Amino acid sequence: MTDIAIRVENLSKRYRIGQYVGSGAQYRTLRESLTDAVFAPIRRLKSISKFEIRNSKSDTPQSNDSPSPVPGQPSTDGFIWALKDVSFEVKRGEVLGIIGRNGAGKSTLLKVLTGITEPTEGRAKLKGRVSSLLEVGTGFHPELTGRENVRLSGAILGMTRKEINRKFDEIVHFSGVETYIDTPVKRYSSGMRVRLGFAVAAHLEPEILLIDEVLAVGDYKFQKKCLGKMQEVTGQGRTVLFVSHNMRAISQICHRTILLNDGGIEIDGDTANVIREYTGGGQGTTAEITWPAEKAPGNQSVRLLGVHVRDKDDKVKSEFQYTEPINICVTFLVLDDMVDLYLNMYLENEDGVFVLVAKSVNNNPRFKKGIHEAQYTIAPHFLNEGRYFVGQFLFKERAVTSPENIAHVKYPVGFGVSYSGKFSGGQLTKYPGVVRPDWDWQISEIDRN
């Protein structure tokens, strides 16, 4: 028996953009609609006659071929390809992440896989019982109580009555709306409604689960609860396709990720590498970047010549151990004499979280004409494992509260931090968080019995 749970081959989906109704279009009355229906055959005969006359006057054959459309872009005939030639396979028990900007085709892909919409070209084959979380709260009726909607929604999502009865208490407890379970859903807040909807969908037991951005719902505490539930589901050997804009959730749940762009697959590979490419936009993948003076970012007074990541031996390096210092070096050219400057360096991780902001602390530093280099050292035993990107800012100071922005380069360089130490005879597991300072606890005795 094959271990492929999902096979997608040259899948494409085309939509018509808008609908032409003529200028001054408005809602039509029943009388107008009936009149049009009566006279439609006459108009059709007239149009056929005109068509035949027009063709008889033309000796040149007319081509019906239209230029091949570009995925994600409207074609000349008013269509757009939301998906174009998408192909991939997902093994049984694999968790595949799908990311991309809004409009990249993520939701369209899941709708095709669930059978909500038919593909224009290609095919998709799924083996096993399929459930989807495409829109949390689907099937809820505002006049019914929470209890009644749990049973209705569960049935819509494919649960049997026996499954619903067995999991009912667990679903309600997970949602946190026990007090209001017999209250009509129309009196629920939007957050309560979403929590109950997710609770129902999250307690399905399919072989294949398709999830679309469900972790964006609810408050922070409930999002953490949802993430925990998703990790539990993926740990049970189910095949999962997980669409999300939450890079942290994708990195925690998925080992493999697909990046969609304009309806096609741009990258398919290891999650960390795909997220790095997506968040950095192809930048921040090198430890060094330089510009010639005439093309360097800046103005008539200062130009940013380069940004480098170096080790303690002043060598350019992109991978560091947790125990090593990391030097961020900035080279710049001062064109005017006695320019007042200070520097800002922003450091982000691969989830887009700002880790730190490094500001120069010199009081009104004045630089003469020439090339200068500034260095900021990130101490060893500080950054946790992961990928980091530098956003470099260089300012000319006009006033303390309002500096002029001279050069701003987004993600010029990046680097990775890893840990290869041992602890208690085994490999040390990765800790959560973005920083991991190795500081000692100060312990003192304050009372003696």
pLDDT in tens, 328-387: 999 999 888 877 777 888 888 877 678 888 887 665 567 888 999 989 999 999 999 888
Which pLDDT does position 400 carry in this prediction?
46
Q: Which two tokens stand for residue 383?
A: 């950054």
What is the spatial distance between Cα 330 and Cα 355, in angstroms, rounded to a whole number? 19
Return mean pLDDT, the chain: 78
Instruction: Give the least confident one: 7-21, 121-135, 329-343, 418-432.
Output: 418-432
**Residue 282 DSSP label:** T
Q: Which two tokens stand for residue 54?
A: 């027009």
Which pLDDT does position 425 carry in this prediction?
44
Which pLDDT does position 264 carry in this prediction?
93
Percent of the chain residues topping a pLDDT of 70: 74
What is the spatial distance between Cα 298 and Cα 360, in angstroms, rounded to a whole number? 18
Where do the DSSP E strands lie in 2-71? 4-16
**Position with higher pLDDT, 174 vs 56:** 174
In the chain the domains, ranked by start, together with CATH numbers, are: 79-280 (3.40.50.300), 288-423 (2.70.50.60)
Cβ-based neighbour number of residue 271 at 10 Å: 22
What is the spatial distance between Cα 437 and Cα 322, in angstroms, rounded to a whole number? 10
Q: Which two tokens stand for residue 355?
A: 């880790």
What is the spatial distance between Cα 103 and Cα 261, in angstroms, rounded to a whole number? 8
Which pLDDT does position 281 carry in this prediction?
54
**Side-chain half-sphere CA neighbours of 204 within 13 A:** 25
**Position with higher pLDDT, 298 vs 180:** 180
Cβ-based neighbour number of residue 431 at 10 Å: 10
Which pLDDT does position 23 carry in this prediction?
44
Instruction: Give the least confident one: 167-171, 191-195, 206-210, 418-422.
Output: 418-422
* Closest-CA residue to 152 (of 185, 111, 119): 185
What is the spatial distance between Cα 333 and Cα 76, in angstroms, rounded to a whole number? 49
The total number of residues written for the chain in this structure: 449
180-211: per-residue pLDDT in tens?
Answer: 999 999 998 877 887 888 888 778 777 888 88
What is the spatial distance between Cα 318 and Cα 310, in angstroms, rounded to a whole number? 8
252-295: per-residue pLDDT in tens?
Answer: 788 899 999 889 999 999 887 788 777 665 555 688 889 898 88
Rounded to the nearest 5°, which phi and psi values hold at 63? -90, 135
Contact 95, 250 (CB under 8 A): no
143-160: per-residue pLDDT in tens?
Answer: 999 999 999 888 877 788
Instruction: Give the least confident one: 97-101, 311-315, 406-410, 443-447.
Output: 406-410
What is the spatial distance between Cα 219 and Cα 217, in angstroms, rounded to a whole number? 7
Average pLDDT over residues 395-422: 68
**Position with higher pLDDT, 417 vs 45:** 417
Region class of 317: left (phi > 0), else alpha (psi between -120 and 50), else beta: beta
pTM of the model: 0.56
**Position with higher pLDDT, 71 vs 208:** 208
CA dihedral of residues 7, 12, 17, 19 (deg, nearest 10): -90
**Cβ-proximal residues to 349 (8 Å cutoff; 6+ apart), any chain:** 355, 386, 387, 388, 389, 434
In a 10 Å sphere around its CB, with 0-12 CB exposed, 13-18 middle and 19+ buried, how is residue 330 labelled? buried
Token pair 């001279």 in the structure block, residue:
406
What is the spatial distance between Cα 211 and Cα 208, in angstroms, rounded to a whole number? 10
Which pLDDT does position 50 carry in this prediction?
45
